Amino acid sequence: MGVVALLLLSLGGCWNTGASKRTNQFEETLDAYRMMIRWGKFERAMNYIRLRESEPATFDREFYRQIRVTGYDIIDEIGYGKEIDDPREIHIITAIEFLHQDDISLKSMRYKQVWYYDEIEEGWFLDSELPDFKSALEKNEKF
């Protein structure tokens, strides 16, 4: 989380006012979301999703009940000044390892998250869907 903190604290202009609060809030939000995904609380994780351009996909409760996440690691954090021009947006790339209850082999996938700060709600929200485990089962990515 240190890279995220440095990225947010280095932001310029009026964004610096309250940057520490937003940094802490982002880290808490990201950690809570990570734990929900890691422990299979997908329905609760959907509370963080607020797509800016569309509605989230329909939640397939039965499918997600069959998923067991065994690993969730942040690979990269990209924020303002590092390929992103908006200080209210952060991209997180994660590596997820998981099992599907019908298949005992370990699968892996990359999952890109686009987080944004909503000034009105005064909170961080995810402009990305839940991890696409169905596609990952078909592809079975390797790192």
Contact 134, 109 (CB under 8 A): no
What are the structural domain ranges in the chain?
Answer: 2-139
The dihedral region occupied by 81, where left means phi > 0, alpha psi between -120 and 50, and beta the remainder, is left
Residue pLDDT, tens place only, 43-97: 999 999 999 998 888 899 999 999 999 999 999 988 765 666 777 889 999 999 9
Beta-ladder partners of 123: 118
Write down the residue that tokens 């996440």 correspond to: 69
For the chain, the average pLDDT equals 85
Q: What is the pLDDT of residue 118?
A: 94
Whole-model pTM: value is: 0.81
Range 2-139 classified under CATH 3.40.640.10: no
Q: What is the pLDDT of residue 87?
A: 76
